[in-house]
Structure 1
Amino acid sequence: MLSYVILEWNWRTVTLAILTLSLSVTALLHLLKHHRDHRSAAFWVALILLSPLVGACLYGLLGINFVRRKGKDYRGSIGPAYRDPLPACPNFPDADPVTAERDCSLAITLDRISRFHFTPGNQVEPLINGDEAMPAMIQAIQSARTSITLSSYIFEAHHIGADFVQALTAAHQRGVQVRVMVDDAGTRYSWPPVTRILKKNGVPVRRFMPNRFILRLLTMNLRNHKKILVVDGHTGFTGGMNIREGNMISRSPSHPVRDLHFRVTGPVVAQMQRVFAEDWYFCSHEVLDGPDWFPEIPAAGETHALGIVDGPDEDLEVMPVALFAALNAARERVSIMTPYFLPTTILMAALKLCATRGIQVTIITPAKNNIPFVAWASRTLYPELLESGCRIFESHAPFDHSKLLLVDNTWSCIGSTNWDPRSLRLNFEFNLACRSPSLATRLQTIFEERLKECTEVTLTTLQSTPLSHRLRSGFARLFIPIL
C-alpha cells in the first residue's frame, strides 16, 4: 500500500513537473519571439523563472495580445484609411515664419503617424465635468434628425445614464438611425447592463468583445476605451468622460469624478465617425456609409485637428509615438494632466529632455488615486523627473480623471488616452491633436485653475515619506509593465 502511494505521488509529481516545464518553455519562446517592450519582457522572464507554473499561466492571461483586428474589408468599402505618406504642410495663417515652420514640422509628423490628415476649419469647445458635458450630449441626441453613433467604455444604466437611455430610445422611435457600442467590461459597472435595456427598447447596440469565461480572461486587458458621440454626422463629442453619475459634481454623487470632455464641429468629425464605424463593423459586420453617416461638413472654426487612433492591433503604439513627437517639438512649455501617470521609458526620457532644454514641464496627477497600486508605482518615477527640472503637482479630491497635453500655447492633445502602459499599449483609444492658439490658451487657463488647488511634490516631500510607504511603492513599481 505504501509503495502504491509513493508511486502515485511520484507520478503526480512527474506529471506536474512536465506540465510546468512545458508551459514555462512555451511561454518563454512566445515571449522571446513576440514581445516588443523590453521592460515588460524582463518582468515576465523573471516571473516565469521564479515561479514557472504561476508565471506561465499569468503570462498567458495578461501578457499576450490575442487580438489582431484587420479592417481591410471595411476600409475597402469606405475608402482607404492610410493615405499619402507625404502630406503637405497645413496652412497656419496666424503664425509668424519661425513658428509656422516649427508647427508645420510637427503637423507633418503627426499626419504621418496617424491614418488621417489634418483638417482645417474645426471648432473644439471644452466642457467641464458632467454638469456641462452630459446635458450638452443629451440635447444633441434629442435634436438628432438622421443618425447617432455612441461609443463609451463605461455606460451606467441609472441616474444620468437613464437620461441617455431615454434620449436614445426616443430618437430611435422617431426614426433616427441609432448605433450604440459599449465595452464588455464597461457594461459591468451597473446592473442590469445598459446594453440589455437598450436592446429591449429596440435600439441597435453591441458589446465590444463580449467573450465569456476563458475567452474573456484572455482578452480582459484589451478594452475599447474610446469615448465618441457623433450626431447627424456633423456634431461630435469626445474626451475622457464615461457616462456615469459620478461625473455630475453638482449632484454630490457618492464618488465624484472631475473630467473634461469636448464638443467638436467641423470636418474632423468625419474622422470620429469613421473610427466608430470601423469598431461597429468589427462588432456587427454592418457597414455604416452614405450621407446619413458621412454628410458634407462645412468649416466651423479656426482649429486644425487630426484624429489619432491607438490600439493593440494595427494601430499598436501610435499614441506613444505621437506624444513623443509633441514633446520633442516643445520650445517653451509642456502641461500634462492625467489620472494615471506611468509613462514609458521613452516618454520619461522625453520629459526629462524637455526640462533639460529649459522647457517648463508641469504635471498634474491625483494625490489619491482610485487605483492605489498605480499611485504607489507612479511615485517611484517622481525623483528622476524632479531632478531634471520637471514640476509635479498632486490634485486633491474629487478624483480628477481629466486627460490633457498642452504644448507651447498652440498645441493640444485631448481624448481618452492615459499616460500608463494599459492605455498606451493595451486599450483601443481615440484622441484629437489640435493646433489652435485660442483653444490652447483656454485649456491652459483651466489647467492653471486646477493647479491652484494642487500640492506640489518636491524631493524633500519624497524624502520625508515613511519607509513603509517607500517599500510599498517600490514593490508596486515592479508591476509597472502590466499596470
Structure 2
Amino acid sequence: MGLHIILTIYVLIALTLVVSILLHGAKPSKTLGWLLAIFTVPVGGIFLYLLLGRNRRKNKLILLKKERFFQFPKPSLEHMSAMHGQFKKLMTLVYRNSHFPPTEGNDLQLLKDGETTFEAIFKALDAAQHTIHLQYYIFEEGELADAFLILFAKKIKEGVSIRMIYDGVGSFSLSKKYINKLEAIGVEVYPFLPFKFGRFFRSLNYRNHRKIIVIDGYTGFTGGINISDKYLKGDEALGKWHDMHLQIIGPAATHLDYVFTLDWYLVSQQECTPAKRNSDVKVGTNSLVQIVAGGPDDDFASLEQTYFSMINKAEKYIYITNPYIIPGQALLQALQTAALSGVDVRLLVSEKADSKIVGWSVRSYFEALLKSGIKIHLFPDGFLHSKIIVSDDVISTIGTANLDDRSFEQNYEVNAVMYDSAFAKLLKADFLKDAHRSKSLTYVEFVNRPWSDKLKEGFGKLFSALL
C-alpha cells in the first residue's frame, strides 16, 4: 500500500511537470529532452528538471519592472542621431532590450590576459575618490584576493565607499573568514542568490556571470576575466588562462554602473544611485559604445539577439572567439547562412576544455559548421576564455556572454558593443595573430575522426540540450 501511494504521488508530480513544460517550454528541443528525462529516468529526471530546467523568463526574479526602481538613461538628440546611422537597427535593438543608448566620448583600452588586466584595474582602483562598485562570478581567495583586501582597506580609510557582489555558486569557495574581513574594514558585500537549501531549486540555475568594476561612476571594466590567481599562474590541468578584458572611461562606464545598481538592489534590497558623469574627466578618444545587459528576468534574450544581428549584418567577415560555442538553431543557421553567402566566418576555440562534457558538446557542432565553409581554429596554448566578436573592421563586442543557451537564457550577462573602426581593426589583428598559431580544422579531416569521438560528441550534444 505504501509503495502504491508513493507511485501515485510520483506520477502526479510527473504529470504536473509535464503540463508545466508543455505550457512554458521555450524551445521544442528542450521540451522534448525534458519530457524524455522525466519519463525515462525515474526520480532523477524530475530532480534534474527542478534543478536546471524551469523557465523563469515569465516568472521574474525581480517582481516589479526594473523601470520602477531606476530612471534609465533617455536618448538625447546626440544619441538619436547616432541611432539613425549605419547601425540603426542594432542600436535600436540593444536600446529596446537593455535601455542603454549608444554613447560618444569613451576611451577604450584593450586588456589581454591577467597580468595586463589586473595592473590596469589596481591602478584605477588606487585612483578612486568616491565609489568602487564591483561584481564577479568567480572571486577566489589567493594572492589577488589578498591584494584587493589591502587596497580596499586603504581606500575606505580615504573615504571611498565600496560595494561588492559575488555569485553564490561561482564563488562558492569564498570563505566566511574572508567575507568577514571585507565587512570588518567597511566593504558592503552581498552574495548573488547564495546556495541555500530552502531555495535550492528556485535559484541554483540562475547565476550572475557578469564581471564589472566601476570606479567613481566613470571608469569601468568588463570582459571575461574573473578574480582568480589562475589568470596569473595558470593551473595544473589547463596551463595558462588566456582572456580579454576591456577598460572604458566615459559615459558607457556609467551605464555599467546602472547594471551594477540594479543587481545591488536585487541582492540587498537597497537602492544605490549610479554616480553622475564627471565632466572634469577628459578622455583621449571618442569611441561610440553601447552596453547590452541580459538576464532570465528580461522579456527577450538580448545577448542572443545582439549576436544574431551582428552575424546577419556582416558583409565581409565575422571573427568569433569563445570557449563555449554551443549555438541554438537560430545562431547555427545565421553562421551557416553567412558563410554560404560568401562572408569569411572564423571561430577561435580553445583546444583544451575545462569540462569534458562541455568540450564534447562544443565539438559536436564542428562538422555542421565546417561543412558550410566556416573556418575553425583550435588555440593550443592553455585555455582560451575570451568572449569576442569583430566584424567588417567597424563593429565589435567584448563581454561575459558565451554562445550558448546558458548565457542567453539563464545567466545574468553584460557586453559592450563598440562602433569603432580603429578598435575593431585592433581586435581583428589580435584574432588573426592567435589564429595563425592555432590548428586549423578541415572538413575532410574532421569528418573522418574516430567513431569514439563522435559518440562522445553525441552524448555532449544531448546533454547540452537540457542546460
TM-score, length-normalised on structure 2? 0.93
Q: How far apart in 2 are the matches of 1:141 and 1:418?
A: 27
For residues 278-293 of structure 1, what are the structure 2 equivalents within 5 Å?
Answer: 278-289=262-273, 293=275
- 2:29 corresponding residue in structure 1: 39
1:199 aligns with 2:189: no
Q: What SS does the corresponding residue of 2:440 show, helix, strand or coil? A: strand
* Counterpart amino acid of residue 96 in structure 2: R
Per-residue CA deviation, residues 208-248 of structure 1 (Å, 9 max, x unaligned), is 11241241343222110101101111111111110111111
C-alpha contact 1:155 1:194 (8 A) present in aligned 2: no
The alpha carbon displacement at 1:198 in A equals 1.1
Q: What SS does the corresponding residue of 1:187 show, helix, strand or coil? A: coil
Structure 1 residues 422 and 141: CA distance shift in structure 2, 3 A: same
- 2:99 corresponding residue in structure 1: 115
Q: How far apart in 1 are the matches of 2:369 and 2:177?
A: 42
C-alpha contact 1:150 1:229 (8 A) present in aligned 2: yes
C-alpha contact 1:239 1:261 (8 A) present in aligned 2: yes
Q: How far apart in 1 are the matches of 2:354 and 2:177?
A: 22
- 1:61 corresponding residue in structure 2: 51
Q: How far apart in 1 are the matches of 2:277 and 2:192?
A: 26
1:404 aligns with 2:378: no
Name whichever of 238-247 and 449-458 sits farther off: 449-458
* Counterpart amino acid of residue 59 in structure 1: Y
Per-residue CA deviation, residues 113-153 of structure 1 (Å, 9 max, x unaligned), is 43111111112211011110112111211111111000111
Q: What SS does the corresponding residue of 2:43 show, helix, strand or coil? A: helix
C-alpha contact 1:179 1:203 (8 A) present in aligned 2: yes
Per-residue CA deviation, residues 396-416 of structure 1 (Å, 9 max, x unaligned), is 131011110111111111100
- Structure 2: stretches of 5+ with no match in the other structure: none
Structure 1 residues 125 and 201: CA distance shift in structure 2, 3 A: same
- 1:219 corresponding residue in structure 2: 203
For residues 34-433 of structure 1, what are the structure 2 equivalents within 5 Å?
Answer: 34-65=24-55, 68-70=60-62, 72=64, 75-80=67-72, 88-90=80-82, 102-191=86-175, 194-248=178-232, 251=233, 254=236, 255-289=239-273, 293-297=275-279, 300=283, 301-314=285-298, 316-433=300-417
Q: What SS does the corresponding residue of 1:189 show, helix, strand or coil? A: coil
Q: What SS does the corresponding residue of 1:197 show, helix, strand or coil? A: helix
C-alpha contact 1:237 1:262 (8 A) present in aligned 2: yes
- 2:428 corresponding residue in structure 1: 444
Name whichever of 264-273 and 458-467 sits farther off: 458-467
Q: How far apart in 1 are the matches of 2:180 and 2:385?
A: 27
The alpha carbon displacement at 1:194 in A equals 4.2
C-alpha contact 1:271 1:307 (8 A) present in aligned 2: yes
C-alpha contact 2:293 2:414 (8 A) present in aligned 1: yes
Per-residue CA deviation, residues 251-285 of structure 1 (Å, 9 max, x unaligned), is 46545311111110111111100000010011112
Per-residue CA deviation, residues 414-467 of structure 1 (Å, 9 max, x unaligned), is 100011121111100011111000100111111111112211122222233221
- Structure 1: stretches of 5+ with no match in the other structure: 1-10, 92-99
The alpha carbon displacement at 1:192 in A equals 5.2
* Counterpart amino acid of residue 224 in structure 1: N
* Counterpart amino acid of residue 101 in structure 2: H
1:13 aligns with 2:6: no
Structure 1 residues 74 and 102: CA distance shift in structure 2, 3 A: closer
- 2:19 corresponding residue in structure 1: 29
C-alpha contact 2:345 2:374 (8 A) present in aligned 1: yes
Identity %: 27
The alpha carbon displacement at 1:190 in A equals 4.5
Q: How far apart in 2 are the matches of 1:261 and 1:369?
A: 20
C-alpha contact 1:305 1:434 (8 A) present in aligned 2: yes
* Counterpart amino acid of residue 44 in structure 2: V
C-alpha contact 2:314 2:338 (8 A) present in aligned 1: yes
The alpha carbon displacement at 1:157 in A equals 2.1
1:478 aligns with 2:462: yes
C-alpha contact 1:74 1:281 (8 A) present in aligned 2: no
The alpha carbon displacement at 1:299 in A equals 6.5
Q: What SS does the corresponding residue of 1:418 show, helix, strand or coil? A: coil
Structure 1 residues 45 and 71: CA distance shift in structure 2, 3 A: closer
* Counterpart amino acid of residue 454 in structure 2: R
C-alpha contact 1:69 1:313 (8 A) present in aligned 2: yes
C-alpha contact 2:234 2:241 (8 A) present in aligned 1: no
* Counterpart amino acid of residue 383 in structure 1: E
Larger Rg: 1
Q: How far apart in 2 are the matches of 1:77 and 1:364?
A: 40
The alpha carbon displacement at 1:177 in A equals 0.8
Q: How far apart in 1 are the matches of 2:178 and 2:209?
A: 17
Q: How far apart in 1 are the matches of 2:260 and 2:213?
A: 9
C-alpha contact 2:106 2:249 (8 A) present in aligned 1: yes
RMSD: 2.2
* Counterpart amino acid of residue 35 in structure 2: V
Structure 1 residues 375 and 138: CA distance shift in structure 2, 3 A: same
Name whichever of 75-84 and 49-58 sits farther off: 75-84
The alpha carbon displacement at 1:81 in A equals 6.3
Q: What SS does the corresponding residue of 2:251 show, helix, strand or coil? A: coil
C-alpha contact 1:83 1:115 (8 A) present in aligned 2: no
Structure 1 residues 193 and 58: CA distance shift in structure 2, 3 A: farther
Q: How far apart in 2 are the matches of 1:237 and 1:74?
A: 23
Q: What SS does the corresponding residue of 1:225 show, helix, strand or coil? A: coil
Q: What SS does the corresponding residue of 1:419 show, helix, strand or coil? A: coil
Q: How far apart in 2 are the matches of 1:316 and 1:81?
A: 20
Structure 1 residues 35 and 136: CA distance shift in structure 2, 3 A: same
Q: How far apart in 1 are the matches of 2:96 and 2:402?
A: 22
Q: How far apart in 2 are the matches of 1:73 and 1:103?
A: 28
